């Protein structure tokens, strides 16, 4: 935490028996805990796990800041995850991070190895590894992402329309896209968060911490990656798994950059049996 910043509120929720082995779920950029769907969390808890999800800063019910001027760093978000564990009296957990949450999770495991029993990284990219030779985001998604710069993030109609397009752009290439389900989730997140303007701060963050490399990881690593991910093509998941001895790679056939319900059995089984 920066010296000038007051201690932020980080809101979390749990599922399952606190006596069971804990799992901390870390979501990605601009996404509150709702993007770990409640049904997903309950299914994971049903596998004998104590599941914790939380709102990153600038999302959900956690502390928000003026859009465009975040007074915190990426490193502070890493430390927030430890605070969540502390809030629930958890000394060590299996940590599962998705997208930007996967980068938070990798940093967490390297900065606080005594607090992370196993690491699972979903739809992300390897930390501290040269990825310049890997494919970048698809041209189509890059064009869509650029359009985000023209959105008035204070305008509910514009935001919901853009986010609906985003959900479709990130969808599985194998399973049917459920526009109604996506819209319901986006609207629920928008209303609960009081808008998404502050969440755009995630794209303005600076590192704030030392350089780390996932090659130094000394705990079990699970990598889950969709073969049709438009943000981080599947080669990123393969490179991450290759960087850590003994890592397991689970590829989701046709998987985009989303937790599609049809893929939950594979994803939940992989997480529940890891570590």
SS3 115: helix
What is the model's pTM? 0.96
Query: What are the residue boundaries of the structural domains of the chain, listed by start?
Result: 12-127+135-272
Q: Please give the pLDDT value at position 3.
A: 33
pLDDT tens digits for range 148-185:
999 999 999 999 999 999 999 999 999 999 999 999 99
Look at the block and give the residue holding tokens 């089984």: 269
- The count of other CB atoms within 10 Å of the CB of residue 211 is 7
Of 3.40.50.1820, 3.30.465.10, 3.30.1330.60, 3.40.50.970, the CATH number of 12-127+135-272 is 3.40.50.1820
Tell me how far the alpha carbon of residue 28 is from its chain's centroid.
3
Q: Tell me, what's the pLDDT at 1?
A: 34
pLDDT < 70 positions in the chain: 1-6
Please give the pLDDT value at position 7.
85
Q: Which residues are marked as active site?
A: 99, 229, 257
Tokens of 158: 């514009």
Residue 37: the pLDDT is 98
Q: CA 33 to CA 189: how far, in whole Å?
A: 9
């Amino acid at each position: 935490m920066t010296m000038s910043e007051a201690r932020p509120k980080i809101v979390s929720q749990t599922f399952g028996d606190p006596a069971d082995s804990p799992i901390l779920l870390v979501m990605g950029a601009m996404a509150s805990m709702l993007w770990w769907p409640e049904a997903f969390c309950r299914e994971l808890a049903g596998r004998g796990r104590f599941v914790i999800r939380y709102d990153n800063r600038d999302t959900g019910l956690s502390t928000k800041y003026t859009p465009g001027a975040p007074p915190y760093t990426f490193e502070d978000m890493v430390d927030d995850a430890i605070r969540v564990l502390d809030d629930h009296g958890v000394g060590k957990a299996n940590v599962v991070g998705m997208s930007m949450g996967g980068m938070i999770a990798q940093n967490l495991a390297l900065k606080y190895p005594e607090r992370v029993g196993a690491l699972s990284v979903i739809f992300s990219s390897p930390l501290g590894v040269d990825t310049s030779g890997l494919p970048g985001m698809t041209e189509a998604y890059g064009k869509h992402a650029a359009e985000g710069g023209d959105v008035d993030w204070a305008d509910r109609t514009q935001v919901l329309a853009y986010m609906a397009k985003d959900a479709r752009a990130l969808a599985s290439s194998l399973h049917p896209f459920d526009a109604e389900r996506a819209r319901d989730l986006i609207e629920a997140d928008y209303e609960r968060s009081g808008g998404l303007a502050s969440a755009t701060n995630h794209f303005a963050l600076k590192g704030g911490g030392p350089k780390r490399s996932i090659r130094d990881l000394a705990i079990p690593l699970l990598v889950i990656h969709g073969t049709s991910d438009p943000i981080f093509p599947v080669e990123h998941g393969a490179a991450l798994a290759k960087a850590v001895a003994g890592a397991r790679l689970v590829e989701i056939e046709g998987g985009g950059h989303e937790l599609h319900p049809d893929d939950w059995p594979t994803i939940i089984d992989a997480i529940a049996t890891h570590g």
